[in-house]
Structure 1
């Protein structure tokens, strides 16, 4: 029973069926273009009804609108021939622009001075650290018996050092100012830890960043001063700048009253 049904279904698939053909536009209506199918009608109808629904919703909203209602957006809009138009912002006059530029120049100049002071303070701190790391270059020597040399770094210990050199075998004595002892050829140097190195690198990085920021503020200040000068009075002539340079102007020299 089941095998016969399966064979019948297989034979149905092998039987050649009639080819589906769409009805074409009649020859008498060729001037109207392609024949509209049902799926094309559905797309056109849905689009039409969607637009009609939107229009009906707006008509209903306009019918129920309160003529006394107010929105803050109405302050900056107006109606012209039934179309909403946004009001154009009022243009600032020359005096207002000059006042704005003067405030900008003052603010940027103050920030630049602040950055310059911080850079100078950082340079002074790091310069002091470098001086501490360097070995002392200036030494004072005392000659004893013509050939013996005693380096001196502390005046208060000079007499004791000379006396020790004279009473001794004539060897040179090295006196360290940082320590209270006299040693033969010994030098005491400060050793820095990894934490000190990390802190020092952080300070150098901060110095580099603040230096770049000061340069940027200087360029910005120069540009603002130029824009402020252009808003002022006086005849000027635009010069042809070189490659990579900003635009340049030359003012006509006027006689001061």
Structure 2
């Protein structure tokens, strides 16, 4: 029976529109619009009833310090702005310090990533080559380029130095400047990283100055302080 009941076509439910003679009154409210309006009305009514109960059962001797710092002005409830307490300032400085530390770490990560892609950025200082002579006159007259039979530009090169004969016989490849943009970006990131580190240092110093403890200003220009050691009892 239920199968036959569902097989019979039914007329789709439709709410009527605003009649043409009542167009000047605006859009006709539908059932879903009424539900939203009724729900909003009852929520406000419940809140007003709760406030009425609180006002009726209020303790006349009840007191809060916020009563002193608040009041009505032109029918609006306003609260006086409280001065920033030291603990609140410390919390703000800690948040600033954490945020700046995150930015420094992000710059360092980008710096290390670029450093792995570029060449000769992290080249170590070349090893020194010590030559022993018998007299000081020989040391003054010694010419390193002639001694090693190489060009003077290769004296600071790390590893085996090419001789003049090898330089004459080999073909020098052209220098590729494709990574010039990468090197410029690397230098820019290094500068930004130094600026962020300087800001982080200033924030940390302000946070330390807000703490208790005996200190002395050592350098007025650089604002360098010295803290004295205190025994904790």
The TM-score bracket by the shorter chain reads 0.3 to 0.5
Tell me which of the two structures has the higher relative contact order, counting C-alpha pairs closer than 8 angstroms and 6 or more residues apart.
Answer: 2
Q: What TM-score results when the alignment is normalised by the length of structure 2? A: 0.43
Higher strand share: 1
Q: What TM-score results when the alignment is normalised by the length of structure 1? A: 0.40
Bigger radius of gyration among the two: 1
